[in-house]
């Protein structure tokens, strides 16, 4: 009996000890879970009050480094630019700037060109980095992306250079021709010939200045301010009338076809200029005794019905390489032909801008030696569309034959 009692007592004591140890382990586990981690101390306790909130509303990419160069705080934009990787600042020049600023407390700023991540094309990312001390132990790095600003500046610089070159050509020619007229004052035939050349150059200069004005106007004007339903038939008739004299001189037949009584929504002046440029280009780049066609149709689209106006010529065509650039300002497929026709290289740029500002687009199909088709797609005027009978047929521009040619005088 004494042995059994002793065994029972020992078992009871062992159970009590096991329970106490289990309770202590549970308490220690809870204490570890509620204890602040090293990371939370860095992000919450180390940052001065209010800094986290300020960094979250900055447009620049922000990175905060501690005394060991570890990232305490970084904005999502900093990760997107590839500035921070694995908790470290990945750009060595910026890291060196941060170390220098931590050592002497001076604010530093520098512009850098960084390799763009993931493109594989060696494209540079232009940034401006500014480093400043933040308290006694931290360093703040602010990085601004300058890539788009530099691109816009390059476009502006190229535009000014191109304009200067284009203006210099006719003005230089006028200067030389005027000297030739003075030298040939006793030769009426030469004076007449030089005066004719002066008229050509003066016309080219006038056209260039006018297209620069038109381009500036369509960029600055909001087409929605004076938008109205515009008749496509009237736009086509106006575009044909604009190129009537040139077409007649080259014996080019202009025909119009497709659906009638269509209306688009937008600025009448801008739309007339865009379609007029397309028709004028078609006439200028078409050989003599060919045909230029203008046709319109209604097409259904998920975002709203569109009006499609196609201008087709039988001209020299456009190569695939040039097709990607023809809507750039001052770009010419054939500079020699452009000089002969008086082209400025701004007409298609104006068309593209007008189409985009009206919520539409302009596309081109072309085959060298066979001709080109420029297609302008614009939103249909809703009020007019709702009044059109549902049973009215809409001819297909690609399959519907054009009507009999209207031979211009």
Mean pLDDT of 315-338: 73
Per-residue pLDDT, 117: 62
DSSP assignment of 216-278, as one string?
HHHHHS-TTTT-EEEEHHHHHHHHHHHTHHHHHHTT-EEEEEE-SS-EEEE-HHHHHHHHHHH
Percentage of the chain beyond pLDDT 70 is 74
Task: Report d(CA 371, CA 316) in Å as an integer.
Answer: 6
Task: Report d(CA 261, CA 297) in Å as an integer.
Answer: 10
CB 296 within 8 A of CB 232: yes
Q: What would the pLDDT profile of 238-249 be if each residue is shown by its tens digit?
A: 999 999 998 999
Task: Report d(CA 57, CA 54) in Å as an integer.
Answer: 6
Task: Report d(CA 317, CA 328) in Å as an integer.
Answer: 17
Whether residue 197 has pLDDT greater than 50: yes
More confident residue, 371 or 22: 371
Across the chain, mean pLDDT equals: 77
DSSP secondary structure letter of residue 41: I
Mean pLDDT of 124-140: 86
CA proximity to 277, closest of 307, 309, 250: 309
**Residues found in the chain:** 409
Q: Which residues contact 330 (CB under 8 A, 6 or more apart)?
A: 159, 162, 166, 344, 345, 346, 349
Mean pLDDT of 149-166: 77
Q: Which domains does the chain have, with CATH numbers?
A: 42-145 (3.30.450.20), 148-220 (1.10.287.130), 223-409 (3.30.565.10)
Mean pLDDT of 86-104: 88
Return the residue matching tokens 């381009």. Answer: 215
Per-residue pLDDT, 285: 86
DSSP secondary structure letter of residue 164: H
- Statement: the pTM of the whole predicted model exceeds 0.75: no
Phi, psi of 2 (to 5 degrees): -65, -35
Q: What would the pLDDT profile of 19-67 be if each residue is shown by its tens digit?
A: 545 555 445 444 544 444 333 334 444 677 777 777 777 778 889 988 8
Burial of residue 2 (CB within 10 Å: 0-12, 13-18, 19+) is exposed
Per-residue pLDDT, 35: 44
Q: What would the pLDDT profile of 222-261 be if each residue is shown by its tens digit?
A: 666 678 899 999 999 999 999 999 899 999 999 999 988 9
């Amino acid at each position: 009996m004494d042995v059994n009692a002793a065994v029972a007592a020992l078992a009871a004591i062992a159970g009590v000890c096991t329970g106490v140890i289990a309770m202590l382990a549970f308490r220690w586990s809870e204490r570890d879970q509620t204890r602040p981690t090293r990371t939370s101390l860095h992000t919450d306790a180390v940052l001065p009050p209010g800094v986290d909130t300020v960094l979250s509303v900055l447009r620049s990419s922000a990175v905060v480094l501690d005394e060991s160069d570890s990232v305490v705080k970084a904005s999502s934009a900093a990760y997107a630019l590839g500035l921070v990787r694995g908790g470290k600042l990945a750009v060595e020049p910026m890291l060196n700037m941060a170390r220098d600023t931590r050592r002497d407390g001076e604010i530093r700023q520098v512009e850098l060109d960084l390799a763009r991540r993931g493109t594989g094309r060696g494209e540079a990312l232009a940034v401006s980095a500014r480093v400043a001390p933040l308290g006694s132990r931290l360093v703040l790095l602010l990085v601004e992306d300058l890539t788009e600003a530099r691109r816009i500046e390059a476009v502006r610089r190229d535009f000014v250079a191109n304009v200067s070159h284009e203006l210099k050509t006719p003005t230089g020619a006028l200067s030389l021709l005027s000297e030739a007229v003075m030298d040939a004052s006793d030769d009426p035939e030469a004076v007449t010939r030089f005066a004719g050349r002066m008229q050509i150059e003066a016309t080219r200069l006038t056209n260039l200045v006018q297209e620069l004005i038109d381009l500036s106007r369509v960029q600055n004007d909001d087409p929605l301010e004076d938008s109205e339903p515009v008749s496509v038939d009237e736009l086509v008739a106006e575009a044909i009338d604009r190129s009537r004299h040139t077409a007649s001189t080259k014996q080019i037949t202009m025909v119009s076809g497709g659906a009638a009584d269509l209306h688009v929504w937008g600025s009448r002046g801008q739309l007339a200029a865009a379609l007029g440029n397309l028709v004028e280009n078609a006439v200028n780049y078409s050989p003599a005794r060919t045909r230029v066609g203008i046709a319109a149709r209604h097409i259904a689209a998920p975002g709203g019905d569109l009006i499609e106006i196609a201008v087709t010529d039988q001209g020299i065509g456009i190569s695939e390489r040039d097709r990607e650039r023809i809507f750039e300002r001052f770009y010419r497929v054939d500079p020699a032909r452009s000089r002969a026709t008086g082209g400025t290289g701004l007409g298609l740029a104006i068309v593209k801008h007008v189409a985009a500002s009206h919520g539409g687009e302009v596309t081109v199909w072309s085959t060298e030696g066979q001709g080109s088709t420029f297609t302008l797609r614009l939103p249909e005027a809703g009020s007019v569309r709702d009044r059109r009978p549902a049973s009215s047929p809409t001819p297909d521009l690609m399959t519907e034959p054009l009507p009999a040619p209207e031979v211009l005088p």
